[in-house]
């Protein structure tokens, strides 16, 4: 409203044209209330044969009472987008929307949503098979109290999760992505991944950086700090070249950085204590136990090409932290909602959560895509 008088001299301002305005806004939500839509199929009696013919309902209306796609989509978003437990999700929808639901009803929503995403999951898997670079990782989860393994394959655009009783190649073969992948696979040093020989391998540098920091700070090994700083300097060099629009470092730069890398490894190897003298008596079978620092140095030396691949191909990330971040969301779900209590629950969770993660990476709003699952048009 315009002011009625001058706040300084009290002169009347009525009828004068405003010369400007200031704006303030209050954001509010309308009342959230469940709406019941009733469909009626009329019955008409034939005057000739007295047969009663009933009209038809829409294809999506199949029960005497059912919930619509918006309710189902919001429930799925709360369960697998925000990781609320079933009971809390049912309470929230009942209190906030006046929409009485039970955990059992939510389970039927999850089962329906999972069934509707079967083809979409296969599209995600195919996109990952055809990717130029993908990250892979795994972590343990509990299903009915038993240890299972959650495997993730991912890029910056796609995410796929799968739960299997095994951790190794039997599991990844059954999942069906890695056997047909021919690009660059980035992973940690788990022996599972090098068994796939039809693709190129890049190793995550986050793991050796953490170990090098430990040896530097807790065991006071000077070489570890220097090697850690050199790896970070290599990464910085790549980022600066990437900012200039380059796709790889020049050959002489790579040669120089690689030579320094191997020199520092040699310094580290020289600093390791010799293996202990064998004890008198019968010779023990197996390899002589090495220090953890020696094991790391051997790994860095043996797999140098895989650890340093990010310098010659800028498509390869310096670390595989993206895979760890995608797995972390499942750990959040386990902390908030507890472990899986059935064998079907993990499969539905992986399919829906993988879809949500994929859509989030591509810039979609999860509430929107959750609703679209139940109207038959998932992106």
Residue 97 confidence (pLDDT) = 83
The mean pLDDT value for 247-266 works out to: 95
Residue 371 confidence (pLDDT) = 92
Residue 21 confidence (pLDDT) = 85
Q: Is the CB of residue 55 less than 8 Å from the CB of residue 43?
A: yes
Q: pLDDT by residue (tens digit) across 292-332?
A: 999 999 999 999 999 999 999 999 999 999 999 999 888 88
Residue 247 confidence (pLDDT) = 86
Every domain of the chain and the residues it spans? 43-118
The mean pLDDT value for 24-49 works out to: 87
The answer on pLDDT for 225 being more than 90 is yes
pTM: 0.85
Secondary structure E strands in the chain:
43-45, 52-54, 133-143, 146-154, 159-164, 184-187, 200-203
Both structure tokens of 190: 């788990």
* Residues in the chain, overall count: 379
Which phi and psi (to 5°) does residue 354 adopt? -65, -40
Both structure tokens of 1: 């409203």
Residue 286 confidence (pLDDT) = 58
Q: Name the nearest CA neighbour of 266 among 301, 220, 242.
A: 301
Residue 90 confidence (pLDDT) = 93
The mean pLDDT value for 49-75 works out to: 86
The mean pLDDT value for 214-227 works out to: 94
The answer on pLDDT for 152 being more than 70 is yes
Q: pLDDT by residue (tens digit) across 358-370?
A: 999 999 999 999 9
Residue 379 confidence (pLDDT) = 66
Q: Which residue has the higher pLDDT, 335 or 84?
A: 84
Q: What percent of the chain has pLDDT over 70?
A: 96
Give CA torsion, residues 283, 286, 291, 297, to 10 deg: 130
> What average pLDDT is seen over the chain?
90
The band of 233, judged by pLDDT with boundaries at 50, 70 and 90, is very high
The answer on pLDDT for 17 being more than 90 is no
Q: pLDDT by residue (tens digit) across 185-203?
A: 999 999 999 999 999 999 9
Q: In angstroms, how far is CA 257 from the centroid of its own chain?
A: 33
Give the three-state DSSP class for 376.
coil
């Amino acid at each position: 409203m315009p002011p009625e008088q001058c706040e300084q001299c009290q002169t009347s301002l009525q009828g004068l044209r405003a010369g400007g305005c200031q704006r303030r806004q209050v954001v509010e939500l309308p009342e959230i209330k469940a709406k019941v839509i009733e469909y009626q199929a009329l019955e008409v009696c034939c005057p000739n044969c007295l047969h009663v013919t009933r009209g038809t309902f829409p294809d999506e209306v199949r029960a005497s009472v059912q919930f619509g796609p918006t309710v189902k989509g919001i429930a799925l978003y709360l369960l697998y987008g925000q990781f609320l437990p079933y009971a809390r999700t049912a309470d929230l929808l009942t209190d906030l929307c006046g929409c009485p639901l039970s955990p059992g009803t939510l389970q039927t929503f999850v089962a329906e949503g999972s069934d509707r995403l079967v083809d979409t999951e296969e599209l995600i898997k195919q996109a990952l098979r055809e990717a130029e670079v993908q990250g892979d990782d795994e972590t343990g989860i509990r299903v009915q109290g038993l240890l299972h393994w959650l495997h993730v394959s991912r890029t910056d655009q796609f995410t796929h999760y799968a739960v299997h009783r095994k951790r190794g190649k039997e599991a990844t073969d059954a999942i069906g992505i890695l056997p047909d992948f021919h690009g660059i696979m980035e992973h940690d040093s788990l022996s599972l991944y090098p068994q796939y020989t039809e693709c190129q391998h890049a190793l995550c540098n986050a793991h050796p950086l953490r170990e090098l920091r430990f040896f530097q700070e807790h065991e006071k090994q000077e070489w570890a700090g220097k090697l850690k700083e050199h790896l970070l300097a290599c990464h910085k060099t790549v980022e600066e070249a990437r900012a200039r629009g380059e796709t790889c470092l020049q050959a002489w730069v790579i040669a120089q950085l690689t030579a320094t890398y191997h020199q520092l490894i040699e310094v580290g190897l020289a600093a390791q204590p010799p293996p202990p003298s064998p004890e008198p008596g019968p010779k023990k079978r197996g390899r002589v136990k090495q220090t953890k620092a020696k094991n790391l140095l051997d790994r860095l030396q043996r797999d140098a090409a895989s650890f340093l691949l990010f310098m010659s191909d800028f498509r390869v990330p310096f670390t595989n932290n993206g895979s760890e971040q995608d797995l972390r969301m499942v750990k959040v779900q386990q902390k908030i909602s507890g472990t899986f209590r059935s064998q079907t629950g993990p499969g539905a969770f992986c399919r829906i959560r993988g879809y949500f993660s994929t859509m989030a990476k591509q810039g979609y709003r999860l509430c929107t895509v959750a609703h679209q699952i139940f109207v038959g048009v998932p992106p």
